[in-house]
Amino acid sequence: MERPGEFELIARHFAPIAGPGGLGLVDDAGLLRPARGYEIVVTVDALVAGVHFFPDDPPGSIARKALGVNLSDLAAKGAKPEGFVLSLVLPKGWTEDWLAGFAAGLAGMATENGCPLIGGDTVSTSGPLTLSITAFGSVPAGRMVTRSGAKPGHLVLVSGTIGDGALGLKVHGPDKPGWVSKLDEAARAFLADRYLHPQPRLALAAALQQHASAAMDISDGLVGDLAKLLKASGIGAEIELDTVPLSRAVRAAIMADPALAELAWTGGDDYEILCTASEMEYPALAAAADSAGVMLTAIGRVTAEAGVARYSEQGTARGFVQGSFAHF
Amino acid sequence: MERPGEFELIARHFAPIAGPGGLGLVDDAGLLRPARGYEIVVTVDALVAGVHFFPDDPPGSIARKALGVNLSDLAAKGAKPEGFVLSLVLPKGWTEDWLAGFAAGLAGMATENGCPLIGGDTVSTSGPLTLSITAFGSVPAGRMVTRSGAKPGHLVLVSGTIGDGALGLKVHGPDKPGWVSKLDEAARAFLADRYLHPQPRLALAAALQQHASAAMDISDGLVGDLAKLLKASGIGAEIELDTVPLSRAVRAAIMADPALAELAWTGGDDYEILCTASEMEYPALAAAADSAGVMLTAIGRVTAEAGVARYSEQGTARGFVQGSFAHF
């Protein structure tokens, strides 16, 4: 079957995802028009087949993840999505069927989150499929939530449940550890889905923008990403590991193999929000999270000990040798 | 030698290139703050080793080209550069020396063109080096120069000289055709440099924004890119090929092998501006180009024949079978 050229491909599969700023994807550039008094938050994430996803993952899932991880960054920054651009680096042997599935997943994610395509580039490679998405959100000027605003005494909070993505990777991947067979079908499906389809916590974005003192998304593991936030804010934290929210599936896996608790705390692919809030702002933030239907759990408190994270489990101090999962 | 981790690497090589909107490259996102009444032009280009450049090109040249081709798009849109983000997808075996050279080239290009780094992502791949840059420029709201504003009677203009990049690729590449040896050393060096180091015509941006009716940059060959502009504007054009500006080096190459004229007109990697202007606006545009020291040459005129480009050479009609060089 003959494959379409770049322009046909764009018209057929990507133009339908384009917003007004995309100008029909027939020009050299797209446009962002922030409302008066707003500025643009810019985030970029690259994903490579065999590193960030499996080459034979469903193309729609790959697309959802590629956009989802960027939207997760926007959510953490308290930004409202405004659009994105895509660099699509296609390996030899791609098919139009694959591309149609990819575009359908991308369209779904873009529509569900109000984040239209405004531009892109498509090139070919002798290597693996590679995607780079740059996503744009808007915040009132000067109000992006940074990593650096946490102060001693503030609460440390996380959205959702932690560790699903890291365990989901094991469940979904080709070399399944023994514990996987001890989970029921629903738990396995839940974990694999959490790995494949990150859900950006955009429902929290406005509340974070108004009430959080610092925030970031958890992409490389809670322990490692908390270390980055502490460094940026010049503060420390005391974390009670028993309070870290775990899903039913992760709890079942830890029952089967207690060593998995460490994987849950340190593994990547959570795409939940890690944030801090003062005692005064916390009630409003918690109420907004409740309204949005997103679980938000206090797991500890900010201290003045710059860069030092103290973890305790059932009252006993606990250290981590390897803090963070690195995609790099 | 141990290679630095991602965070050290960013701090050492990329943070010095960061502008205020980059927030020191320690947060999840960068910021764009358009002045009141301005909007943001967004362009993205991906480059793959072995497709868009040679893997053993100097790393500083690769960096300059990656940013340069994006700045060329901004120039064509009449936009003033405001910043860029970089996805750096590193192959196995990269060295810190390589990276230092890359960052130095990137810093030079960013500084020379007033376009600071505001964010990025660094990942690894089993495939070739891949770069994706998203660049941002500002234009007064509603004033981006599109591809679609050309009207019958307008002049068709190009900046600089055409064909240097396409012939430069042959001069620079590993399989040099016979004509290369017939050029003098200065001509060979000029052409290779034009291929390796595109010069974005940002000096023309303000004048294009004020006086051009349509514009795009020429990246895939004059003939093919003109076809895209005609399609977007719903117009035609009559082009006198004898008036297409050629460098001394390209003229010498055509003397050695007359078939190279077609390569000059259709080959890629010009990164010059193709634009249209009304008779009324042309003098101001030409004067601004003169002031900027950029050659701007009229090569034909817009016609009402939608999508039809008529070429003539020394009074004789001329057609092109293969209109465009495709990177895809």
Partner-chain contact B122 A328, CB within 8 Å: yes
Partner-chain contact A123 B46, CB within 8 Å: yes
- Identity of the residue in B41, B119, B126 whose CB atom sits nearest the CB atom of A29: B41
Residue B45 assigned as binding residue? yes
Q: Give the number of A-B residue pairs with CB atoms closer than 8 Å.
A: 210
Chain A hits for B123, CB-CB cut-off 8 Å, are 46-48, 51-52, 327-328
Cα-based torsion angle of the residue sequence A218, A219, A222, A226 in order, rounded to the nearest 10 degrees:
-70
B48 CB within 8 Å of a chain A CB? yes
A124 CB within 8 Å of a chain B CB? yes
Last residue of a domain, one of B117, B140, B163: B140
Shared-domain flag, residues B49 and B87: yes
Shared-domain flag, residues B169 and B266: yes
Instruction: Specify the residue for token string 């004229």.
Output: B261
Would you state the pLDDT for residue A23? 78
Would you state the pLDDT for residue A322? 55
* Residue A1 forms part of a structural domain: no
Q: What is the mean pLDDT of chain A?
A: 94
Shared-domain flag, residues B65 and B10: yes
Shared-domain flag, residues A307 and A241: yes
**pLDDT band per the 50, 70, 90 thresholds, residue A2:** low
Which of A53, A118, A121, A231 should we substitute to test contact with B (largest number of B Cβ atoms within 10 Å)?
A121
ipTM (interface pTM): 0.92
Shared-domain flag, residues A202 and A309: yes
* Residue A327 forms part of a structural domain: no
> What is the per-residue pLDDT across A225-268, written as a single tens digit (0 to 9) for each?
999 999 999 999 999 999 999 999 999 999 999 999 999 999 99
Interior angle at CA B201, CA B139 and CA B134, nearest 5: 60
With contact defined as beta carbons under 8 Å apart, do B190 and B247 qualify?
A: yes
Taking the C-alpha atoms of residue B314 and residue B283, their distance in angstroms, rounded to an integer, is 26
Chain B hits for A36, CB-CB cut-off 8 Å, are 36
> What is the per-residue pLDDT across A119-138, written as a single tens digit (0 to 9) for each?
999 999 999 999 999 999 99
DSSP label at B18?
B
Shared-domain flag, residues B126 and B160: no
Partner-chain contact A122 B50, CB within 8 Å: no
- pLDDT, average across residues B176-182: 96
Q: What is the mean pLDDT of chain B?
A: 93
CATH code for the domain in which residue B186 is found = 3.90.650.10
> What is the per-residue pLDDT across A51-88, written as a single tens digit (0 to 9) for each?
999 999 999 999 999 999 999 999 999 999 999 999 99
Would you state the pLDDT for residue A328? 43
A127 CB within 8 Å of a chain B CB? yes
**pLDDT band per the 50, 70, 90 thresholds, residue B319:** confident
Q: What domain range includes position A123?
A: 6-140
Shared-domain flag, residues A173 and A241: yes
* Residue B326 forms part of a structural domain: no
Partner-chain contact B42 A85, CB within 8 Å: yes
Chain B hits for A89, CB-CB cut-off 8 Å, are 46, 48, 130, 132
CATH code for the domain in which residue A23 is found = 3.30.1330.10
Would you state the pLDDT for residue B322? 55
Both tokens of residue A302?
């900010």
- Identity of the residue in B85, B123, B228 whose CB atom sits nearest the CB atom of A42: B85
Closest approach of A59 to chain B, Cα-based (Å): 19
B326 CB within 8 Å of a chain A CB? yes
**pLDDT band per the 50, 70, 90 thresholds, residue A25:** confident
Least confident of A153-162, B26-35, B111-120: B26-35
Would you state the pLDDT for residue A320? 84
Last residue of a domain, one of B85, B105, B140: B140
Shared-domain flag, residues B121 and B68: yes
Partner-chain contact A26 B119, CB within 8 Å: no
* Residue B328 forms part of a structural domain: no
Which of A7, A8, A9, A28 should we substitute to test contact with B (largest number of B Cβ atoms within 10 Å)?
A28
SS3 string, chain A, reads CCCCCHHHHHHHHHHHHECHHHHHHCCCCEEECCCCCEEEEEEEEEEEECCCECCCCCHHHHHHHHHHHHHHHHHHCCCEEEEEEEEEEEECCCCHHHHHHHHHHHHHHHHHCCCCEEEEEEEEECCCCEEEEEEEEEEECCCCCCCCCCCCCCEEEEECCCCHHHHHHHHHCCCCCHHHHHCCHHHHHHHHHHHHCCCCCHHHHHHHHHHCCEEEEECCCHHHHHHHHHHHHCCEEEEEHHHCCCCHHHHHHHHHCCCHHHHHHHCCCCCEEEEEECCCCHHHHHHHHHHHCCCEEEEEEEECCCCCEEEEECCEEECCCCCCCCCC
> What is the per-residue pLDDT across B205-259, written as a single tens digit (0 to 9) for each?
999 999 999 999 999 999 999 999 999 999 999 999 999 999 999 999 999 999 9
Would you state the pLDDT for residue A323? 54
pLDDT greater than 90 at residue A4: no
pLDDT greater than 90 at residue A321: no
> What is the per-residue pLDDT across A267-302, written as a single tens digit (0 to 9) for each?
999 999 999 999 999 999 999 999 999 999 999 999
Q: What percent of chain B has pLDDT over 70?
A: 96
A50 CB within 8 Å of a chain B CB? yes
B290 CB within 8 Å of a chain A CB? no
With contact defined as beta carbons under 8 Å apart, do A64 and A109 qualify?
A: yes
pLDDT greater than 50 at residue A194: yes
Last residue of a domain, one of A140, A171, A199: A140
Shared-domain flag, residues B217 and B308: yes
Searching chain A, which residue's CA lies closest to the CA of residue B147? A27
B121 CB within 8 Å of a chain A CB? yes
Partner-chain contact A29 B45, CB within 8 Å: no
Residue B318 assigned as binding residue? no
Partner-chain contact B41 A47, CB within 8 Å: no
Shared-domain flag, residues B194 and B162: yes
Rg (CA), chain A: 20
Shared-domain flag, residues A185 and A130: no
Closest approach of A256 to chain B, Cα-based (Å): 34
Shared-domain flag, residues A160 and A119: no
Would you state the pLDDT for residue A326? 47
Q: What domain count does chain A have?
A: 2
* Residue B50 forms part of a structural domain: yes
Searching chain A, which residue's CA lies closest to the CA of residue B22? A42
* Residue A145 forms part of a structural domain: no
Higher pLDDT, A6 or B43: B43
* Residue A325 forms part of a structural domain: no
Both tokens of residue B327?
């990177």
Q: What percent of chain A has pLDDT over 90?
A: 87
* Residue B260 forms part of a structural domain: yes
Taking the C-alpha atoms of residue B209 and residue B213, their distance in angstroms, rounded to an integer, is 9
- pLDDT, average across residues A163-189: 96
> What is the per-residue pLDDT across B21-69, written as a single tens digit (0 to 9) for each?
877 777 889 999 999 999 999 999 999 999 999 999 999 999 999 999 9
**pLDDT band per the 50, 70, 90 thresholds, residue A1:** very low
Chain B hits for A91, CB-CB cut-off 8 Å, are 127
B30 CB within 8 Å of a chain A CB? yes
B89 CB within 8 Å of a chain A CB? yes
Residue B147 assigned as binding residue? yes
B124 CB within 8 Å of a chain A CB? yes
